Amino acid sequence: MKSWIRSKKPSALLGLALNGLQLEGTVVRRNNGRTQLGSTFRHTFSADPLTGNPTLLGRELRAVLDAAEIRENQCTVALPANWTLTLTTSLPDLPEADAQSLLQLEAERGFAFPVETLSIVSSRFEAPPGTHHATQVAIHRERITRLLDILRAAHLTSVSLTPGCIRTVELVEPANETGTLTLIVAPTQVELVARLQPGIAALRTWELPLENPGRELRVTLGQLPAELQTALKRIRLVGTGAAVDHLAAELRARASASGLSVEQVASFATNAGGVGLPEGTPATPAVAVAAAFLAGRSNPLDFQPPHVSAWQQYTQRYASRKLVAVGQVAGAIILVVLALFLWQQFQLSQLESNWARIANRVHSADDVQQQIKKFRPWYDTSVRSLAILRQLTEAFPEDGEVTAKIIEIRENGMVTCSGTARDQAALLRTMERLRSALNVVDVQLDMVRGKAPMQFTFNFQWAGVSR
């Protein structure tokens, strides 16, 4: 019963949007396919959430929620874009498993921090003329942990942690629109999102105030991939106030010179993303993340950690109270192991007695076998090594993109090949051809070093018998 209640989608959520020290919240409800807005609040934390005491900040937030008479305890959080690290990678035509391996290698080489300290999600998109790419978005795990500690201290449970600018763009862009650079204007920064269907092509931030918005736009456009620059058609500013109007006026001259139009959006459309928002709803990340979640929209860029079951929490919490029982179980295991050891010694004694009885006959049989081997032909009619070399030759490209330097063939059929490749994609194509060979199994990549050219070592098991 409890698991069914937990899996049921809530009908109301508290949407939160964090931006530096500032936190904005809106209660969002969904009923009969329509979305309604409830209480809202704005709060400035007394300390930076990234460095302050999470327990004190959580109590501070709880006091604000009580003052606003907000009782919802489930929430979605719009994360600030300046928490994110992004990396865009071109994807060749590869099987999904190899594409994931390529993205993992690019993350290890491209991000300035160890990947084990990051939470990484990816979004794929297609750019003209039909090229495929993936944008990897990473956030430090420590930041997510601190944010969850603050929410826990405020008696809140998060169901989604996602960059708020992404959800906002999804709700302000018309269906199937592409080639738009969207600027979400926040109090302390401008969050830039470029979407090419069906994913995110670029994610940037501008810190406010801006001395020269036109120059910032030119630099940002210059940092985008060439195919993305040619695909952009318009710039959309999301937000209200004099700062948004001023920024739009400053950008129009630079945008028109680049062949881009500029438009402003202050509120969500009533049919935005199929969410069914009320007319005139402010286009804010807090509303966007909660409304999109309640409407059941998919979200590949969600940093919400996996749910820990109540049983796991119980065992972690009360494990120390069962140390005595654990000690008793450990003692029983030791007794069982000791009994097994004594039984093994008894069996070894029996085997040694049997060996003493048949040792002379075994030695005689060994002498006969040695005589047989002495006069048996020493050569083998198989040409296994040549068959392996032929298979490797057929798998390697003829244009020299991938070359082998060392090939080691062991007696058990294990083959190790080391060499150089022009790039990662050429090496993966070679290994894919080798995997499809009839007598080759278990192709494994052992080592990759360098870029262009790159050094590699892979191995496989030869299963064929050649004559």
What's the domain count of the chain?
3
Domain identity same for 204 and 65: yes
Looking at the domain assignment, is residue 273 inside a domain? yes
Looking at the domain assignment, is residue 276 inside a domain? yes
Tell me, what's the pLDDT at 128?
Answer: 73
Edge-to-edge order in the sheet of strand 118-127 = 85-91, 131-140, 118-127
Give the length of the chain: 467
Looking at the domain assignment, is residue 8 inside a domain? no
pLDDT in tens, 353-396: 888 888 888 888 888 888 777 766 555 556 788 888 998 999 99
- Does residue 321 register a pLDDT over 80? no
Domain identity same for 396 and 329: no
Which residue, chain included where needed, has tokens 């190899």?
Answer: 98
Looking at the domain assignment, is residue 210 inside a domain? yes
Show which of 255, 284, 307 is a domain's final residue: 307
Domain identity same for 296 and 325: no
Domain identity same for 183 and 324: no
Tell me, what's the pLDDT at 380?
Answer: 54
Lowest-pLDDT range of 85-99, 314-328, 349-363, 393-407: 314-328
Domain identity same for 347 and 289: no
- Does residue 151 register a pLDDT over 90? yes
Domain identity same for 424 and 450: yes
Domain identity same for 295 and 395: no
Looking at the domain assignment, is residue 215 inside a domain? yes
State which residues form the domain around 349: 318-379
Looking at the domain assignment, is residue 71 inside a domain? yes
Looking up residue 449, the CATH number of its domain turns out to be: 3.30.1360.100
Show which of 329, 359, 379 is a domain's final residue: 379
Tell me, what's the pLDDT at 377?
Answer: 54
Looking at the domain assignment, is residue 254 inside a domain? yes
Tell me, what's the pLDDT at 2?
Answer: 40
Looking up residue 159, the CATH number of its domain turns out to be: 3.30.420.260
Domain identity same for 345 and 439: no
| % of the chain surpassing 70 pLDDT | 92
Domain identity same for 328 and 343: yes
Taking all residues of the chain, what is their mean pLDDT, rounded to a whole number?
86
Domain identity same for 199 and 329: no
Q: Average the pLDDT over 4-8 and give the result.
A: 50
Domain identity same for 444 and 359: no
Show which of 257, 283, 307 is a domain's final residue: 307
